[in-house]
Amino acid sequence: MRTDYHVHTERGPYTVKWLEQFLATAKERGVTELGISEHGYRFLQTRPLFDNEWTDKKRTEDLNEYMKMVMDARKAGHDVKFGIELDYVPGRDEEMRAFLDSYPFDYVIGSVHWLGDFGFDLLEYRPVWDERDIKEVYNEYFAILMQLAESKLFQIIGHPDVIKVFGHEPDDAAFLQNWYTKLADHFKKHDQCIEVSTAGLRKPVQKMYPAPDFLKTCFEKGVPIALSSDAHRPEDVGADYETAIAYIRDAGYERICTFQNRKRTSVPLK
């Protein structure tokens, strides 16, 4: 089994014809289960979940049209999962839960992209990094990731150390390992599944998410994983999967998670 649950079709129309380009790449690369997980902030229906000028400008789509694309693809004989990637915003748990319960998602990816008004992985906010202490940023990010896990709103924790996207990493192995251990214990306690993502290989950092020691610590603590590419183009579906599979096995994993109706199943990685 090879999955790719973190896929965005948003650069094209919400049509089966466009989705079929992603499905074709998945088939070519041996991805046996594809899921689409559009960014939640793009949809009109998520307005109550955000207080953010940047996301307000991006909120132009109707989630029902997105859902129809997936359902029409199923009617056409395609096996595709219906997911969404939703930014976790502390203090909005009940609003997020009500929203998520109103749609038949197979899984929800919970991600952290904002620290207050700092969109740390956006190019336009990259200069802000020069004004911040890296350890303080990591402390804030990982603390919110802890809250995300506690919320139990999500089936997958997306790219758990995406904070390193531009290559800003603390030069302190003990600092990072302390967080990795704390997070892995927390993920296990709250029965969370984390994402192993090849997206970092296509970003300035040019590294997998999560870091090797982070992933190995999660394995030691018994935290399950999902495999994804975070593709935003058809050609990125299943990208660098041979590297990813070797990476996962090196950490000790031989199984990954699949999802249906927000229920998790463990299957062998092949």
DSSP state of 146: H
- Residues 41-67 have a mean pLDDT of 95
The share of the chain scoring above pLDDT 70, in percent, equals: 100
Structure tokens at 149: 């896990």
Predicted local confidence at residue 267, as pLDDT: 98
Q: Enumerate domains of the chain plus CATH numbers.
A: 3-268 (3.20.20.140)
> How much is the pLDDT for 270?
86
* Residue 59, pLDDT score: 95
Please provide residue 105's backbone torsions phi and psi, each rounded to the nearest 5 degrees.
Answer: -70, 140
Strands (E), 40-148: 80-87, 107-111, 114-115, 118-119
- The helix (H) or strand (E) run that includes residue 142 is helix 134-151
Q: Above 90 in pLDDT, residue 51?
A: no
> pLDDT digits over 59-77, tens only?
999 999 999 999 999 999 9
Q: What pLDDT shows up at residue 48?
A: 92
Pull the structure tokens for residue 19. Answer: 């989705």
Give yes or no for residue 257 having a pLDDT over 90. Answer: yes
The pLDDT assigned to 160 comes to: 98
Band (pLDDT 50/70/90 cuts) for residue 239 is very high
| Interatomic CA distance for residues 154 and 88, integer angstroms | 9
The answer, yes or no, to whether residue 211 has pLDDT greater than 90, is yes
Cα radius of gyration (the chain): 17
How many angstroms separate the CA atoms of 259 and 190, rounded?
A: 17
Confidence (pTM): 0.97
Q: What is the mean pLDDT of the chain?
A: 97
Q: Using alpha carbons, select from 115, 43, 41, 38 the residue that is nearest to residue 83.
A: 38
| pLDDT per position as a tens digit, 93-113 | 999 999 999 999 999 999 999
pLDDT in tens, 19-41: 999 999 999 999 999 999 999 99
